Amino acid sequence: MTMITKESLPQAVEKALAAAPVTDLHTHIFAAGFGDLLLWGVDELVTYHYLIAENFRYTGMPYEQYFTLGKKEQADLIWRNLFIEHSPVSEAQRGVLTALAKLGLDVGSRNLASFREFCSSFTPGEYIDKVFATSGVSTVVMTNDPFNAKERAVWLGGGCDDRRFQAALRLDPLLNAYDQTYLSLREWGYPVDKRLDRTSVEEIKRFLREWAQRMKALYMAVSLPPTFAVPEDSLRSRLIEECVLPVARELDIPFAMMIGVNKLVNHKLGDAGDSVGKSSVRPLEYLCEKYPDNKFLVTMLARENQHELAVTARKFRNLLVFGCWWFLNNPSLVEEMTRMRMELLGLSFVPQHSDARILDQLIYKWDHSRKIIGKVLVDKYGDLLATGWRLDEAELKRDAEGLLGGNFWQFIGKEPMM
């Protein structure tokens, strides 16, 4: 048993975090079997939607014109604007450099063509192996949308057998656009109506059950606007209470809610055009209290919601708070949130998820986050040592493994798949 001293603490924490396998509980990346749904390589990395938005801070080019360009031309343009003509100091910009550097490339060369050449020497399968090994990620949870035609076809053809990629059944089209998606459900053999009568409720439950089982989904998930309310007289509220939660209980899987996204405040920017708004935690309190046999995985997008969200998790053990989502995934905010959550919740939360859309992003998102989580842990353990409390290496290992993956698996009641 190696005891930790004030002097050995920083290195011991770093070592424990580096060795802990990461389960990334929310991403948008896919296994190789999903074909071109999997995005990877430097051109995708540089044209990530965060960077598209940042690019327009520095150019007067009409939005439409950008979107008519091919992928390589888009990447050339963004590389010039964000990396050559300005220093790439934003978190998303810096992330590109971290990812490339950790892949072994000389970012100082600024040679986009050579980075492309490097990426094109891999098959998608080889690149997945390389990125997983480099990032220390062992398992990712995908975002799986049965309303996406391409993806639907993969699942109906047998789905995914790469265990590193687990599924989450994404319900945005069903819950946020039922007035359109009910027509798809009808087409697929679920006789539902627009008003959500009794038959429709049963048929939607059948749809959820069949798809969650087909995907072996670890949870069901939805992203929600700041105006999200339950209970209320809306189809979404009824769908959640009458369809989603009963099926989640039946299958014993959590319902994940990502709350606070204002969709398309600038529709011309497409994926890059979504923004943030403050939400109420009242719907969450209502759901956690009324449905103690349901489990809720929750992240919120507004910085202003973080304190009350952490407090809500103190009140309800069926709520697991996770990650620093999207506009919060910046070092200053990740540190602030991780510190506050640890002070309110001990180690009973999931400090980070990557939300990676491009495979390569696993590298930088986890590298940057691991360092910040480490910094907070060093402070907190340091405070314990100062009281005379003793810590050993095995305890640091246990804590690190919980934060980077174990807490999630324990909450969902399944054995880690690694």
To the nearest whole angstrom, how small is the minimum distance from the Cβ of residue 269 to Zn ion?
17
CA distance 297 to 411: 9
To the nearest whole angstrom, how small is the minimum distance from the Cβ of residue 109 to Zn ion?
32
Binding string to Zn ion for residues 301 to 340, with x set by CB under 5 A, is what?
----------------------------------------
| Cβ proximity to Zn ion, 29 vs 377, nearer residue | 29
SS3 220: strand
To the nearest whole angstrom, how small is the minimum distance from the Cβ of residue 23 to Zn ion?
16
| Cβ proximity to Zn ion, 23 vs 81, nearer residue | 23
Rg over alpha carbons for the chain, rounded to the nearest Å, is: 22
| Cβ proximity to Zn ion, 47 vs 361, nearer residue | 361
Closest CA to 200 of 183, 176, 215: 183
| Cβ proximity to Zn ion, 172 vs 336, nearer residue | 172
Subset of 213-242 contacting Zn ion (CB under 5 A) = none
Q: Which stretch binds Zn ion (CB under 5 A): 120-128, 171-179, 180-188, 352-360?
A: 352-360
To the nearest whole angstrom, how small is the minimum distance from the Cβ of residue 397 to Zn ion?
30
- Which pair of structure tokens corresponds to residue 345? 């919740």
To the nearest whole angstrom, how small is the minimum distance from the Cβ of residue 331 to Zn ion?
19
To the nearest whole angstrom, how small is the minimum distance from the Cβ of residue 354 to Zn ion?
9
To the nearest whole angstrom, how small is the minimum distance from the Cβ of residue 387 to Zn ion?
40
Indicate the DSSP class of residue 392: B
To the nearest whole angstrom, how small is the minimum distance from the Cβ of residue 315 to Zn ion?
26
Q: Which stretch binds Zn ion (CB under 5 A): 76-84, 112-120, 273-281, 355-363?
A: 355-363
List beta partners, residue 228. Answer: none
| Cβ proximity to Zn ion, 20 vs 258, nearer residue | 258
SS3 320: strand
| Cβ proximity to Zn ion, 16 vs 302, nearer residue | 302
Q: Which stretch binds Zn ion (CB under 5 A): 38-46, 98-106, 310-318, 350-358?
A: 350-358
| Cβ proximity to Zn ion, 54 vs 355, nearer residue | 355
Q: Give the pairing type, strands 137-141 and 22-24.
A: parallel
Q: Do the Cβ atoms of 139 and 418 come closer than 8 Å?
A: yes
Q: What kind and span of H or E run contains 295?
A: none
| Cβ proximity to Zn ion, 203 vs 355, nearer residue | 355
CA distance 56 to 77: 11
| Cβ proximity to Zn ion, 151 vs 355, nearer residue | 355
Q: Which stretch binds Zn ion (CB under 5 A): 276-284, 327-335, 348-356, 359-367?
A: 348-356
Q: Which of 355, 360, 399, 401 binds Zn ion (CB under 5 A)?
A: 355
- Which pair of structure tokens corresponds to residue 130? 């390389």
To the nearest whole angstrom, how small is the minimum distance from the Cβ of residue 286 to Zn ion?
24
CA distance 109 to 96: 14
Residues binding Zn ion: what is the number (CB under 5 A)?
Answer: 1
CA distance 47 to 338: 29
To the nearest whole angstrom, how small is the minimum distance from the Cβ of residue 270 to Zn ion?
15
Residue nearest to Zn ion (CB): 355
Please report the DSSP string for 260-294 in residue order.
Answer: -EETTSSGGGGGGG-EE----SHHHHHHHHH-TTS
| Whole-Å CA distances, 51 to 44, 86, 93, 272, 355 | 10, 13, 7, 8, 15
Q: Burial, 113: exposed, middle or buried (Cβ in 10 Å; 0-12, 13-18, 19+)?
A: exposed
Q: Do the Cβ atoms of 404 and 374 come closer than 8 Å?
A: no
| Cβ proximity to Zn ion, 196 vs 333, nearer residue | 333
Residue 196 φ/ψ region, left for φ over 0, alpha for ψ in the -120 to 50 degree band, beta for the rest: left
The residue count for the chain: 418
To the nearest whole angstrom, how small is the minimum distance from the Cβ of residue 355 to Zn ion?
4
331-345 vs 306-315: helix crossing angle, rounded to 10:
20
Q: Give the pairing type, strands 275-276 and 261-262.
A: antiparallel
145 in contact with Zn ion (CB under 5 A): no
| Cβ proximity to Zn ion, 295 vs 365, nearer residue | 365
- Which pair of structure tokens corresponds to residue 262? 């204002």
Q: Which stretch binds Zn ion (CB under 5 A): 70-78, 283-291, 333-341, 349-357?
A: 349-357
Closest CA to 413 of 295, 288, 298: 295
- Contact residues for Zn ion, defined by CB under 5 A: 355
